[in-house]
Amino acid sequence: MKTQKRWTRRSLLRSGALLGGAALAAACAPTGTPQVVEEVEEVSAVPTERETAVTCIWRNNPNEKRSMEEAFEVYKQIRPNVTVEFLVVPSGNEGEQKLLSLFAGGTPPECFASVFTAGLVDYFYRDMVTDFVPYIERDQYDQSDFEDVALDTFHFGDRQVGMARGGVPTCLFLNLDLFDEAGIEYPPSSCEDDSWTWDKMVEVAKALTLDTDGDGRLDQYGLVFGNFNHNQFPMLWGTSSFLPEQLQYGIMQTHNMLDETVIASFQAGADLMWKDQVAPSPEASEALAALGAGGVFMSGRIAMYASIAGPSLVSDANFNWGMAPLPRGASGIQQRIMTWTGPLCMGWGCGEPEEGWSLIKFFVGEDGQKLIAPYATIGTSRKSLREWWSQQYSTDSARLLEVQEMGYAHGMETPNCRTVGWPEVTQIIGSGFDPLWLGEKTAAECVQEFAPALEAKLQELYAANVDTAKDTFPGYTG
């Protein structure tokens, strides 16, 4: 007689243990990504005609998303056999999470816009990004039209891990209506004008800071000046929060925060709110930002607004706007302007590298940039498109072009792309400077307090990455 197998408590537990073990094994298994990239990928194939799908992650705003979808439609006509899975993320945190999940799942994306929380160098040091040099050489792809600062930012040693999709220098947005109402002359449009100094900017801002309804409270401010990447103020003073080696190799054992000029520059930034009283407090800025979709400047109550974003930020403004260069910290200082550069990267080990390369070439090409750049916060990376791009907005295009040209001429890469462990570094600096922006401590007091923690973190990151740096950068000895 055939005995029927019965489920006993023991057999059930055994099965459960097996399943649990299988789940554990699956979870603990190495991911599909390579551990160490010994050599760059073999590049010989060309896009195939079979049906393929590529993944593209992009952080953007609704306007840019629409333009991206149009761009995909155009791309579909060029590569009808390719389906692009477009993953839109609203912020850097979500982008990072999505990106890491794809890598953990062994399905790195063929294309991603590396403007998430971590910087490009973090991806590079973890072998997450494909070196484009073999593709560029094979296709003899001409990069001479790209902004130099973008190419500098995306190169690590002899490898290039990002293709330039956009770039925009920091500058001042002007509410021209507020200038006209106050009868104040616009700031100069040339960076070379030595008279446009910090003090002059504060003087203009004071004249534009008003209590317009006479209720005893300010309701129009002369200036809002963001603290971009903890280096904007020092750069205007001709120095830097970080040592040059930090931005070159991504690691360094110390920093330059204790430098007197660096401290003075941060103090000047805070003085705009608490001493000069030409800028709203952080809380007032937050409230003003909620008045107009697109940030504090869109409230129409800010005369000058320093921003790291391009003109698409203000293209829907219901007032006349223009642009001006950032001032110099003091007369005679050699100014450097932070330029935000946006790379497109390809995940190392992605399933369809040739299609990824093809898609990226489309986006960084003239046709692709023309479709997206006017709506992107990051503008265009192509010199040949600057003039066309400057004509896409409802403002004086000649002035816009001049300010942008000057910005590129004096441009320097943002530190986030070039600093290993940027989220950790910026967390220490950001929380350390909180009392400064809240008007509770001086810049010197803040720096004295957080400098040891920052140095310890930089040393930790240095120790973890120095070997990779030595392998990457010829001649680097640590």
Partner 1 sequence: MVLRQSNTRREAVLFYVFVGPALLGLLIFTLGPMVASFYFSFCDYEIVRAPEWVGLANYHKMFFVDKLPLKSLGVTAYYSFVGVPIRLVAQFLVALLLNRALFGRSLFRTVLYLPSIVSGVALSLLWVWLLNPEFGLVNYLLWEVFGIQGPRWLSSPDWVIPALIVMSMWGIGGGIVICLAGLQGISEELYEAAELDGASGLQKMLRITVPHMTPVLFFNLIMGIIGSFQVFTQGYVMTGGGPSNASLFYVLYLYWNAFNYFRMGYASALAWVLFAIILAMTGLIFRSSSAWVYYEGSVQM
Q: Choose which of 435, 442, 451, 476 interacts with partner 1 (CB under 8 A).
A: 435
Strand, helix or coil for residue 295: coil
Cβ closer to partner 1: 267 or 369? 267
Cβ closer to partner 1: 264 or 289? 289
The binding track of 20-59 with respect to partner 1, each residue x by CB under 8 A or -, is: x--xx-xxx-xx-x-x------------------------
The binding track of 363-402 with respect to partner 1, each residue x by CB under 8 A or -, is: ----------------------------------------
Q: How many CA atoms lie within 13 A of 426 on its CB side?
A: 18
User: Judged by CB under 8 A, does residue 6 bind partner 1?
Assistant: yes
We find the least distance from the C-beta atom of residue 57 to partner 1, in angstroms, to be: 14
Q: Contacts with partner 1: how many residues (CB under 8 A)?
A: 46
Q: Choose which of 284, 302, 447, 469 interacts with partner 1 (CB under 8 A).
A: 284
Computed over its alpha carbons, how large is the radius of gyration of the chain?
25
Cβ closer to partner 1: 67 or 246? 246
Span interacting with partner 1, options 76-84, 118-126, 355-363, 389-397, rule CB under 8 A = 118-126
Q: Choose which of 71, 88, 118, 164 interacts with partner 1 (CB under 8 A).
A: 118
Cβ closer to partner 1: 30 or 474? 30
User: Judged by CB under 8 A, does residue 293 bind partner 1?
Assistant: no
Do residues 103 and 33 lie in contact, with contact meaning Cβ atoms separated by under 8 Å? yes
We find the least distance from the C-beta atom of residue 289 to partner 1, in angstroms, to be: 11
DSSP string, 65-120: HHHHHHHHHHHHHHSTTEEEEEEEESSHHHHHHHHHHHHHTT---SEEE--SSS-H
Span interacting with partner 1, options 61-69, 256-264, 395-403, 425-433, rule CB under 8 A = 425-433
User: Judged by CB under 8 A, does residue 1 bind partner 1?
Assistant: no
Closest C-alpha to 167, from 311, 307, 342, 314: 342
Q: Choose which of 62, 282, 316, 391 interacts with partner 1 (CB under 8 A).
A: 282
The binding track of 60-99 with respect to partner 1, each residue x by CB under 8 A or -, is: ---------------------------------x--xx--
User: Judged by CB under 8 A, does residue 131 bind partner 1?
Assistant: no
CB atoms within 10 A of CB 17: 10
Q: Choose which of 283, 318, 332, 477 interacts with partner 1 (CB under 8 A).
A: 283
CB pairs under 8 A, 24+ apart, for 289-297? 292/317, 296/224, 297/173, 297/175, 297/224
Give me the amino acid identity at 248: Q
- Residues 369 and 165: their CA atoms lie apart, in Å, by 7
Strand, helix or coil for residue 411: strand
Q: Choose which of 58, 103, 198, 408 interacts with partner 1 (CB under 8 A).
A: 103
448-477 binders of partner 1 (CB under 8 A): 453
Cβ closer to partner 1: 23 or 293? 23
CB pairs under 8 A, 24+ apart, for 150-156? 150/339, 150/341, 150/342, 150/343, 150/381, 152/413, 153/120, 153/341, 153/343, 153/413, 153/414, 153/417, 153/418, 154/120, 154/341, 154/343, 154/417, 156/121, 156/124, 156/250, 156/472, 156/473
Cβ closer to partner 1: 69 or 449? 449
Span interacting with partner 1, options 52-60, 153-161, 178-186, 282-290, rule CB under 8 A = 282-290
Alpha helices in 281-421 (DSSP H): 282-289, 353-364, 366-372, 386-390, 397-409, 415-418
- Residues 13 and 17: their CA atoms lie apart, in Å, by 6
Footprint on this chain of partner 1 (rule: CB under 8 A): 4, 6-7, 12, 16, 19-20, 23-24, 26-28, 30-31, 33, 35, 93, 96-97, 100, 103-104, 117-118, 122, 126-128, 281-284, 286-287, 290, 421, 423-424, 427, 430-432, 434-435, 438, 453
